[in-house]
Structure 1
């Protein structure tokens, strides 16, 4: 069994784990998590490894990987749509492909996103005008604090832009980092039955499809267009392309009070509740960081396709990536007074 965490993450950095468990059942996952917590052993529940940056020293505890790959259809009819449950370890893009194939609409624009299904409600993963929160019905979890199973309905998840109570519990209730208080075991989705997509919300996707914002097209066409767009930005995994040796977007788009001063020309989108959202990529580029930017002698750089991705050019260390992230963060802060927040979970590291 592979013991080096670099082999299990899309950034391809990270040292060894003290102990690794590949769990093939819910029972095994829960028993491993509960035993680690009872013993005070550090715990890292690792999904697809696509949203994590792990120390070169590795992880001094138990790493648990969910190897289950199951989709269970609970119901499917014209009135109620499709209701189906997915185990946390299922690769997310396999779920999207199944939905498009079956005529379950609502996640076709989330094609090509790496990682596991269990991570999607934690981050409330979103892209090209869709979010997982649009179609999540409930999430089955193991509550590490109360030592019991807990099913959280959509309204209890606190879903927002790249956040949820699942993610917030990394740092609340005494601090559970780097694994949240709530360990996701499976996710229940509810989607409409249709071969056509939900209304296209994202202008770039609409232009690629040759339609107006608000129109619907075949979901398979949306999936193909999104995969094309993501590939052009180095956001579809390819072992031969170092631009895909990344954690995707390293910084979240800043959400600011609506009266906040933004530089002239910076994107400004309503975010609700008196807030607006801008573009981290715009701020990075206009602070002077171009695609491919790297520090002298470092094996990490911004993607040559997209400034929002920090990439491993083949031999980068975690410290190389952190140094690059700090340089970009500080450059944006010094230029615009806005501090960007990293999206990946940092394990054994601080920015």
Structure 2
């Protein structure tokens, strides 16, 4: 419980302000969710450490919220404190390619600034909403790239010690949409450091919609423009006037399954949709060395819990990554499904669940359950939600 005395101590810290009027509907891109007990805003890394230390010492549950693009929060009051990291210094060293960004920097501003001076490696991560501090937590990735490719270290507040220090990326167990910061309460990222290429060219391109020549490198500005156009076509660039962007982005992670299950799914598609459609099924074999890191299908967890034991694919055979969007569509869910109502699939992209303007968290949850059940019934694959769920479960 948060008592009046602790609230007063938080408010008295230099660089810290508090309020009780903020709601999760105001803080998240899904625009749903009730009010936290308190919202605490910190203007520097030092003030954040002081506030976080007080909350930890008092055993008060808190959740750090940046852009709110990866959160689904229940309706009604939430017994949790929101911490906002309102410091946003960005330091770019062009000659070395080193970039340091404080947690409160808007992520796409980091990408835009790097690309503008010819630094490469994060151009495929253009247009992703949220703040820099959240990027390592789930190893954000898109279009064949992920932050693990360029992250060197993070400035981390350690909840076990109450202190902050630079921690190497190698200590974060980065894997597909995962780090050991996710769900564990290990710490809070206060800043990140990236090492980017300095030759003005992108990282080797691997995504089919960006190149027909895998491994090709192109000018970073060209790739960023192409990625932004692709994301906009899918409703994945935030626009308050466009309800297709009132979402949490890609709602389900791409499932990783044994090759035998992928074969079974492809056979079912062949029976129901024909040979040509089955031949186009996205199947991406994973290297044997990545089995342990990427073979886990993690169950979503609220931030007050540690991550439950992962449901692992049978690692005795090769693993493949499938497309969640492709499976959703083949299970009978079209863009805009169900066509009307407060919550629907995006009219531009079947992997986004959207608030059409008046949805509640319960509406989003009901749609997520329907989609997941449909894919499970059709293909025997249990899709795992990507956002953090608070006060609700699938």
Could you tell me the TM-score, scaled by structure 1's length?
Answer: 0.91
Q: What's the secondary structure of 2:370's corresponding residue? A: helix
- Structure 1, 124-133 or 194-203: larger mean CA deviation: 194-203
1:13-36 C-alpha deviation (Å, 9 max, x unpaired) = 111121111110112211221211
Counterpart CA distance in 2 for 1:218 and 1:58 is 48
Deviations 1:103-138 (A, max 9, x none): 111011111000011111111111112111110001
Say which SS state the counterpart of residue 12 (structure 1) adopts: coil
Q: Is the 8 A contact 2:94 2:119 kept in 1?
A: no
Select which of 259, 283, 294 maps to 2:338: 294
Q: Which moved more, 1:155-164 or 1:308-317?
A: 155-164
Which residue number in structure 2 is paired with residue 111 of structure 1?
A: 126
For structure 1, which segment, 1-10 or 12-21, has the greater mean C-alpha deviation from structure 2 after superposition?
1-10
Q: Equivalent of 2:329, from 285, 292, 295?
A: 285
Aligned equivalent of 2:273: none
Question: Counterpart of 1:163 in 2: which secondary structure?
Answer: coil
Is 1:66 the counterpart of 2:110? The answer is no
Higher strand proportion: 1
Q: Indicate the structure (1 or 2) with the bigger Cα radius of gyration.
A: 2
Secondary structure of 1:301's partner? strand
Matched, 1:164 2:165: no
Shift of 1:59: 2.4
Provide the C-alpha distance between the structure 2 equivalents of 1:133 and 1:100, rounded to a whole number of angstroms. Answer: 18
User: 1:34 aligns to what SS in structure 2?
Assistant: helix
Task: Name which of 178, 188, 194 aligns with 1:183.
Answer: 188
For 1:245 and 1:188, the matched residues in 2 are separated by 30
The normalised TM-score by structure 2 is 0.81
Q: Distance in 2 between matches of 1:140 and 1:97?
A: 22
Secondary structure of residue in 1 paired with 2:53: helix
1:249-264 equivalence runs, <5 A: 249-261=250-262, 262-264=264-266
Deviation string 1:179-228 (CA, Å, 9 cap, x unpaired) is: x321111101111102221222111112xxxx633222211111111111
Q: Output the CA distance in 1 between the equivalents of 2:133 and 2:192.
A: 7
2:23–2:33 Cα contact (<8 Å) kept: yes
Q: Which residue of 2 aligns with 1:267?
A: 282
1:47 aligns with 2:48: no
1:100 corresponds to which of 115, 119, 124: 115
Name stretches of at least 5 consecutive residues in structure 2 with no aligned partner. Answer: 1-18, 267-277, 292-317
Contact 1:70 1:90 in 2 (8 A): yes
**Does residue 206 of structure 2 align to residue 201 of structure 1?**
yes
Partner of 1:304: 347
Deviation, structure 1 residue 76: 4.2
Per the TM alignment, residue 258 of structure 1 is displaced from its structure 2 partner at its CA by 3.2
1:84, CA displacement in angstroms? 2.2
Maintained 8 Å contact 1:294/1:324: no
1:49 is paired with a residue of what secondary structure? coil
Gaps of 5+ in 1: 172-179
How far apart are the structure 2 equivalents of 1:346 and 1:144? Answer: 21
Q: CA deviation at 1:294?
A: 2.8
- Separation of aligned partners in 2, 1:259 and 1:153: 37
Secondary structure of 2:196's counterpart equals strand
Q: Deviations over 1:291-342 (max 9, x none)?
A: 11138x7400000011100000000000000000000011111111110000
Shift of 1:259: 3.5
> Are the counterparts in 1 of residues 49 and 162 from structure 2 also a CA contact under 8 Å?
no
- What is the distance in 2 between the residues matched to 1:240 and 1:44? 28
Deviation by residue 1:72-109 (Cα, 9 ceiling, x = unmatched): 24x543xxx31121111110000000010111110111
Is 1:17 equivalent to 2:19 in the alignment? no
